[in-house]
Structures are given as structure tokens and as C-alpha cells.
């Protein structure tokens, strides 16, 4: 992976991880009719989308009381790093105790930490942190290559568009989000396996070589995508990451 991209990636992570001061606006003018004790994510977290675009699924959070029951009429506000927008930025929970918002990602590739906020009756702040991933141009190319060549074996979940072959393989491939394993491998190791197949690093021969299928730039894009979606997040050795 080129040094120039690595530098941009570190800068984007530093900016995306910057403080998320809660925004005030129309939502702050709303008056809650009830108060909860906890915020939980219903759906919409850990999505992957292109920079500057609205995520495919809305972010849905729920306010519960201390008994775990849904609370109607609690005020929830959303905030995130610079460039992220919410529609709506906040509101009162519905009869199921939930509030949903469409999320538009910022213009830089990286991990975005979003925050949903509510208050208890005693005005104690309650926050829920949600993570989303924004793909830049290179990572979007890697995402497309993953869907075309890799996901059928490396993603164990089937979809209407793609039937997974994962369960049919004697040696299970690592999902690209499996950071506990893939983070320990260098870019050179991943390049060797992608280009020359599993035997290049004494891995399973079921992993075929793609050096005659993918260009060097495409392999770098695939690795960039793998690094960005890694869970836990990937931190390249020798790099210094900005503290929050």
C-alpha cells in the first residue's frame, strides 16, 4: 500500500475521531414528556457507505426506563464529527420508545463515532456511541472487488444477490472484518496471499491466486478496504494516532 495513502488514512482517522460536541438546534427546543434511564441501539450501527453519502439504513435508537420498558416522549439528540449530518438531528421517541434518523457521512474516509444523547428525570446525561464506516475512492474500489471476487467465500452470510460458499469449505476463510487475525498480517503478507494464493504463506490451497486477475492498484485497494472494516480497528505498526 502506497505511503501517500497511508498518510491520508492516518489524517482521516485523526479528524474523524475528533471530539463530538453535541449540536443544538430545533431538537433542543422540543420538550420531553417522559424520561428514560438508558439508550440502546435498535438498528443502523456498523454500516459501510461512501463518503458524503446517506447510509442505506436509518439509525434507530430506543430509550428504556430502569425496568427495560420503552419510554414514549423522551428527547433524543444526535451528534457526530464535522461533516456528519442527521435528518432529523433529534426528536421525541415514538410509542415504541424509538427515534430514527438518516445519517449522511462526512467527506473523509474513516470510522465515524456518532453519539445519541438523552437525559434522565434527574438531568443525568445518558449517551450511546455508534460507529459507522465511510469509504473513500480506494476503499470503494476494494469493496467492489470484495463483492466480485472474495465475499462468496470470505463472507459467511448469504444474500439474495450472493449465495455464500463459506459453509462448504473444509478450511474456513477469515471474514475481512476479523481483525484479531488479519491485523497481525502485514500488507506484504496480504499482498502475497491475494496475488499468489494461500500456499504463498503456507495457508490453505483453497485460496486461489489473483495476480493475473487483479492489478497491483486493485490489490492495494482491496487491502485498504480490509484495513478499514477491520474489527477491532487496524493500527499499522510504527504509526502514531492522534488522541481524542
Contacts of 106 by beta carbon, 8 Å cutoff, 6+ apart: 16, 51, 52, 80, 81, 82, 83, 84, 112, 134
CATH superfamily name and code, 3-135: Immunoglobulins (2.60.40.10)
Instruction: Provide the pLDDT for residue 8.
Output: 39
Kindly report, as residue ranges, where domains of CATH 2.60.40.10 are found in the chain. 3-135
Tally: H helices and E strands in the chain: 6, 9
Q: Which residue in 62, 77, 79, 76 sits closest to 114, CA to CA?
A: 79
**Phi, psi dihedral angles at 5 (to 5 degrees):** -65, -40
Q: Each residue of 68-106: b (16+ CB within 10 Å) or e?
A: eebbbbbbbbbbbbebbebebbbbbbeeebbbbbebbbb
Sign of torsion, CA 196 163 103 45?
negative
CA distance 88 to 39: 17
Q: Which residue in 130, 129, 109, 137 sits closest to 16, CA to CA?
A: 109
CA distance 132 to 233: 12
Question: Mind listing the pLDDT tens digit of every residue in the chain (244 residues)?
Answer: 444 444 334 334 434 444 444 444 556 688 999 999 999 999 999 999 999 999 999 999 999 999 999 999 999 999 999 999 999 999 999 999 999 999 999 999 999 999 999 999 999 999 999 999 999 999 999 999 999 999 999 998 888 878 898 989 999 999 999 999 999 999 999 999 999 999 999 999 999 999 999 999 999 999 999 999 999 999 876 543 333 3
CATH code that applies to domain 137-229? 1.10.760.10
Kindly report, as residue ranges, where domains of CATH 1.10.760.10 are found in the chain. 137-229
Distance of alpha carbon 174 from its chain centroid, rounded?
18
Instruction: Provide the pLDDT for residue 236.
Output: 76
Instruction: Provide the pLDDT for residue 158.
Output: 83
CA distance 49 to 135: 6
Preceding omega of 110 cis (within 30 degrees of 0): no
pTM of the model: 0.80
DSSP 25: S
Q: Which residue in 63, 40, 22, 1 sits closest to 239, CA to CA?
A: 1
Q: Which residue in 50, 64, 226 sits closest to 145, CA to CA?
A: 226
Instruction: Provide the pLDDT for residue 25.
Output: 52
CA distance 207 to 193: 8
Amino acid at each position: 500500500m502506497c505511503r501517500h495513502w497511508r498518510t491520508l488514512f492516518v489524517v482521516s482517522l485523526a479528524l474523524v475521531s475528533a471530539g463530538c460536541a453535541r449540536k443544538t438546534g430545533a431538537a433542543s427546543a422540543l420538550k420531553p414528556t417522559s424520561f428514560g434511564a438508558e439508550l440502546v441501539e435498535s438498528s443502523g450501527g456498523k454500516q459501510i457507505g461512501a463518503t458524503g453519502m446517506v447510509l442505506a439504513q436509518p439509525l434507530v435508537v430506543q430509550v428504556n426506563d430502569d425496568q427495560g420498558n420503552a419510554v414514549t416522549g423522551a428527547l433524543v439528540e444526535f451528534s457526530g464529527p464535522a461533516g456528519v449530518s442527521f435528518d432529523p438531528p433529534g426528536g421525541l421517541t415514538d410509542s415504541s420508545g424509538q427515534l430514527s434518523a438518516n445519517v449522511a457521512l462526512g467527506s473523509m474516509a474513516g470510522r465515524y463515532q456518532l453519539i445519541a444523547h438523552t437525559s434522565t428525570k434527574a438531568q443525568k446525561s445518558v449517551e450511546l456511541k455508534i460507529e459507522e464506516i465511510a469509504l473513500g475512492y480506494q476503499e470503494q474500489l476494494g469493496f467492489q472487488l470484495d463483492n466480485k471476487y472474495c465475499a462468496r467465500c470470505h463472507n459467511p452470510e448469504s444474500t439474495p444477490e450472493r449465495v455464500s460458499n463459506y459453509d462448504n469449505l473444509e478450511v474456513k476463510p477469515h471474514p475481512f472484518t476479523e481483525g484479531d487475525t488479519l491485523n497481525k498480517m502485514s500488507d506484504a503478507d496480504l499482498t502475497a496471499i491475494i496475488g499468489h494464493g494461500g500456499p504463498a504463506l503456507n495457508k490453505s490451497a483453497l485460496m486461489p491466486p489473483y495476480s493475473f486477475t487483479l492489478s497491483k492498484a486493485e490489490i492495494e485497494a482491496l487491502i485498504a478496504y480490509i484495513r478499514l472494516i477491520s474489527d477491532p480497528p487496524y493500527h499499522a505498526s510504527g504509526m502514531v494516532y492522534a488522541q481524542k
